[in-house]
Structures are given as structure tokens and as C-alpha cells.
Amino acid sequence: MTSLTKTQLKYLKGLGHHLNPVILVGAQGISDNLLAELDKALSHHELIKIKIAHDDRDSRRAMNDEILKASKAVLVSAIGKTFILYRTNPKAPKVALPR
């Protein structure tokens, strides 16, 4: 995934603000099934919100880094336990990014 400009990140953050979390990472952590659902969600929605239910900040960051690497998505926003991810769908793009 190519990097996004500050304008594009700001635009995506505004779009993602009102989204409900699509993926909830629980106590079991990251599994193959979770990554498969994440891939489906990103392909369908492009912009998703995930919630990681761990109290330790470092473990949340590590899980988020693992998710970003596995999904090839871009981190738009990270506030507390909630992360907004973006990955464009080259076949059927839904989000029109500003230049």
C-alpha cells in the first residue's frame, strides 16, 4: 500500500469517525479466522474500524502492527483501543480520496 498524504488521512479519519467497529479482537488475540474476516471486511468496505480489547498499550500496538502487516492496510487513526484502517480495493474502489 502506498503512503497517504496528510489531506487524505484527514479525510479518511473524518469518514471513519462515525463507523462502528467491524472487527473486535478479544482475549484470544489474532487468529487465522480473524485475519480472514479482516481481509473480507477491508475488501468490501475499504475503511474499517477495529477494536482491540487489551488493557496493555504495548500489546495493543503490537497486535495492530501485526494486523497492518498481514492485511497490507494503512493506519488512519489510533485512539485508545480503537484503530481505523484503510486498504483500497483496486477492482471496485468505494472511497474516492482527495488528491
Ordered per-residue pLDDT tens for the chain, 99 residues: 568 899 999 999 999 999 999 999 988 889 999 999 999 999 999 999 999 998 889 999 999 999 999 999 999 999 999 999 999 988 888 888 888
How would DSSP label each residue in 50-97? EEE--S-HHHHHHHHHHHHHHHT-EEEEEETTEEEEE---SSS-----
Q: What pLDDT was estimated at residue 90?
A: 86
CB of 83 within 8 A of CB of 77? yes
Other Cβ atoms less than 10 A from the Cβ of 31: the count is 11
Q: What pLDDT was estimated at residue 2?
A: 64
pTM beyond 0.85, yes or no: yes
Ordered structural domains, the chain, with CATH: 6-86 (3.30.110.60)
CA–CA dist 6, 40 (Å, integer): 26
CA–CA dist 69, 83 (Å, integer): 14
Select from 88, 90, 68 the least CA-distant residue to 8: 88
Which DSSP letter does residue 27 get? Answer: T
